Structure 1
Amino acid sequence: MENIFDIQTDQDFLTASLKIFSYQYENVEIYRRFVDYLNINPGEVNCLTKIPFLPIEMFKNHRILDKNVTADRFFQSSGTTQMNLSKHFIADENIYEESIYKSFEQFIGKPEDFIFLGLLPSYLEKQNSSLIYMVDYLMKKSAKSENGYFLYNHSDLFKLLNQLKDKKVILFGVSFALLDFLDFCDSSSKTLKFSDTLTIIETGGMKGRKEEMTKDELLAILQEGFKTDKIYSEYSMTELLSQAYSLGKNEYQCPNWMRIMVRNAEDPFNYEKEGRTGAINIIDLANIHSCSFIATQDLGKIVGDRFQVLGRIDHSDIRGCSLLVS
């Protein structure tokens, strides 16, 4: 099978997607059972809109893995110990690392050029986080002595950011932690005077830690607090091996081996036109050894060659896929 990272055109993407669909139908048992349950003839799948997308909840109850590989490592979604958490088994870490590097290089720059700081308390406190693996890998490629993580030690982070104000710094931060950091600065009367060389990349993740707000409201607060007109965002999840990036607005771009499609929230087999809100389906061809075709519970819409994330589906409104998740 061709290297997915060599994809350049829509035809390249379609060809690779159909090959991977056929491969995963034959070799990923849960996906094959799902396709068969829908009475879909895999031989008739000849375009992206005919590919069945596996409900993301399946990762909570099933080991979704290519029968030709073994996998000791897995990534696990965040949550409490009482919750049924998603597990994504990883057969080839090299694929994930290449996806991390090439996506970051395409949208941000070479990792070697940056110092990386992580304000990711909820993820650091959990094991098997794909986000921590990603930031660890970028830090390793950067090899800067200043790289490091912060839990709730906001004072130390403030001091370091000011010491590094003339250097190119990436601060990856979970949404609630970035807001907590700004609250600390405000309550401590600490004036933020960071230079244009600091790039904030928020990674989502309120999850009940603060009052829910829209992405646009969050970005506006962060822009004001960090005195910048651009807050970057990264969009991925435990069940993926690829990342989309937003470079200053709530409009994400996918690397060439990843694609977003927006399905009708009540009819999962119909798709919305550009500009109309629906539920996000993701094609992630880096998921070669699990499932590349995932129906998420995120709401969004296509805007030109980009997409917006608008929130989460209300569980009471899910239609069509719920009976398939067992």
Structure 2
Amino acid sequence: MHPNAIFDISSTSQFKDMALQSFKHQWQFNPVYRRFCDHLQVDPEMINTVEEIPFLPIQFFKQFNVLASADPVQTTFTSSGTTGSITSKHHVTDLDLYIKSFRESFRIHYGNVKEYTILALLPSYLERDGSSLILMVDQLIKDSNQPDSGFYLNDHAALSEKLKRLDAEGKKVLLIGVSFALLDLVEAFRFNLNSTIIMETGGMKGRRKELIREELHQILKEGFGVNEIHSEYGMTELLSQGYSNGNGIFTTPPWLQVFMRDTEDALQLVKPGTTGGINVIDLANHNSCPFIATQDLGKKIDENRFEILGRFDTSDIRGCNLMVF
């Protein structure tokens, strides 16, 4: 299977076929994933459905070089973390695949990027190296080809002035920001925006007390004067994103699906509508690992929609005692 074939997926059956092909590729070319499957005593000949594919715990990206390719690593994305903590490392051997993935995903969810002025308020990401989010937003800013698009670090006054001006001109604007920075902005300035999308990327990054989504979004809706707050679901270990248009329900592109695992038994999946740990199949991760058991809790609604409910306690994720070499 050529990696770019994932962008031609148009049905659930196609997704499942490619996921099974991807599993065979991982078994053959990814030593870390192969050892994980061996540890679970998985016989690859017995894997006939997507639901039977083992999901690699996301913590492995902190401990091992997760690669299914012998090609040179073009870049390494790293997760943010507190001082002294071990960060995830996602080695990328085909940067063009990542760029095509986020471009296509944005187009599917929001249409032509050239119709938007994209403003970014991502101080915690700009202040470190290795952020996949910064690379994505930087490329989308360039793709927008709008003179007003750009990043803002701490100049909230200039950002406030631009937001109000562009909105008054009726321009389509997308402001994408980390949660704590968006809260800082609405505490300093008040808005009444009509043609602007506010998208939060989650996380207080140790700058503020964590808030539940409903509380965070209510504060931001009042502060920006908008009816909904959009969200982006992405992570260092994935090369694709899900987006929410404000109702807490995330939709995914055709090459990404989520499954829910039992919170008591990490190797068992639960039915849609049941709370569980989020497992992700991201077929854009062809050269690393597409099958990832995340630390997020959620509910699957249907083939391409899911809800985020919270996170596991990272100090004690049930079932992970089964997942150590």
Q: How far is 1:254 from its partner?
A: 0.6
Q: Per-residue deviation at 1:194?
A: 2.0
Q: Tell me the SS of whatever aligns to 1:213.
A: coil
SS at 2:151's partner residue? strand
Given that residues 74 and 94 in structure 2 are in contact (C-alpha distance below 8 angstroms), is that contact kept between their aligned partners in structure 1?
Answer: no
Alignment-derived partner of residue 207 in structure 1: 205
Equivalent residues of 2:77, 2:91 under 8 A apart:
yes
**Partner residue, 1:176:** 180
Classify the secondary structure of the residue corresponding to 1:97: helix
**Given residue 157 of structure 2, which amino acid in structure 1 is its aligned partner?**
S
Q: How much has 1:311 moved relative to structure 2? A: 0.9
Partner of 2:285: 287
Q: Could you tell me whether the CA contact under 8 Å between 1:301 and 1:308 is conserved in 2?
A: yes
TM-score by length of 1: 0.95
| Matched residue type, 1:228 | V
| 2:271 counterpart (256, 270, 273) | 273
CA–CA separation in structure 2 for the residues paired with 1:177 and 1:303: 31
User: Aligned-pair distance for 1:318?
Assistant: 1.9
- Offset at 1:316? 5.2
Give the Å deviation of 1:64. 0.8
Q: Give structure 1 regions of 4+ aligned residues with deviation exceeding 3 angstroms.
A: none
Q: Return closer, same or farther for 1:90/1:167 CA change in 2, 3 Å cut-off.
A: same
Structure 1 match to 2:76: 74
Amino acid at match of 2:140: L
Q: Which piece of structure 1 moves more, 147-156 or 19-28?
A: 147-156
Q: Would the aligned equivalents of 1:246 and 1:253 in 2 still touch at CA under 8 Å? A: yes
Cross-structure match for 2:158: 156
1:149 deviation in Å? Answer: 0.9
| 1:30 match | 32
2:13 to 11, 14, 17: 11
Contact map agreement 1:266 1:317 (CA 8 A) in 2: no
User: Counterpart amino acid of 2:188?
Assistant: F
Give 1:314's aligned amino acid.
D
Deviation, 1:228, is 1.1
Give CA deviations for 1:20-73 in whole Å, capped at 9, x if unaligned. Answer: 010011001101110111000011111111100000000011111124322031
Larger mean Cα displacement after TM superposition, 252-261 or 41-50 = 41-50
TM-score by length of 2: 0.95
Pairwise CA RMSD: 1.3
1:285 maps to a residue whose letter is L
Amino acid at match of 1:192: F
* Whole-angstrom distance in 2 between the partners of 1:314 and 1:78: 17
1:213 positional shift: 1.7
Contact (CA 8 Å) 2:178, 2:203: kept in 1 or not?
Answer: yes
Once structures 1 and 2 are overlaid, which stretch shifts more, 59-68 or 233-242?
59-68
How far residue 315 of structure 1 moved from its aligned partner, in angstroms, is 3.4
CA distance in 2 between counterparts of 1:94 and 1:67 reads 15
Partner of 2:311: 312
Decide whether aligned partners of structure 1 residues 181 and 147 sit closer, same or farther in structure 2, where only a CA change above 3 A counts: same
- What percentage of aligned pairs have identical amino acids? 47
| 1:188 paired residue number | none
Residue of structure 2 aligned with 1:125, choices 124, 127, 148: 127
SS of equivalent to 2:244: strand
Rounded to whole Å, the distance in 2 between the matches of 1:312 and 1:66 is 28
In the alignment, the residues of structure 1 paired with residue 69 and residue 285 of structure 2 have an alpha-carbon distance, to the nearest angstrom, of 14
Amino acid at match of 1:293: F
Displacement after TM superposition at 1:123 (Å): 0.3
What 5-or-longer segments of structure 1 have no aligned partner?
186-190
Q: What is the distance in 2 between the residues matched to 1:267 and 1:316? A: 17
1:73-127 deviation digits (Å, cap 9, x = unpaired): 1100012341111000111111111111111111111111111110000000010
**AA in 2 matched with 1:276:** T
Partner residue, 2:192:
193
2:237 is paired with a residue of what secondary structure? coil
Q: How many residues align?
A: 320
Give, in angstroms, the shift of residue 224 of structure 1: 1.6
